[in-house]
Structure 1
Amino acid sequence: MQFRRTPLAISLDSGELTIEVPADGYSAPVRVRVGEEVRELRCGERATFAVASASAPSAKLS
């Protein structure tokens, strides 16, 4: 997946949502929000969020 020309690797497994910005290539910082938790990811970084169920808050990128 790409967001504003920044590649993202996204996975959902066992109640955890993981978003990773690969270390190679161009990457502007990406702000990720899941519920009330906000993280800014740069090249080579990842964030993991606990997701309780399908009715849990959705992720938002900005």
Structure 2
Amino acid sequence: MIYITGDIHGTMSVNKRLNRRNFPEQKHLTKEDYVIIAGDFGLIWDGSNEDRYWLK
């Protein structure tokens, strides 16, 4: 399955838009699924623990 969302402006937007309440499908995602963030991607990857969490 392919899921597409609009702009993400930092961690707060990710947590709000892609949380279990707003995106319950995430519970069943596999490595065969894609979540595409279209538009301006406002997260800066700095190698923090939080970055590693989201990259998993």
Confirm or deny a common fold (TM above 0.5): no
Instruction: Please give the TM-score of this superposition, normalised by the length of structure 2.
Output: 0.24
Larger RCO, structures 1/2 (Cα 8 Å, 6+ apart): 2
Of Structure 1 and Structure 2, the greater strand share is in: 1
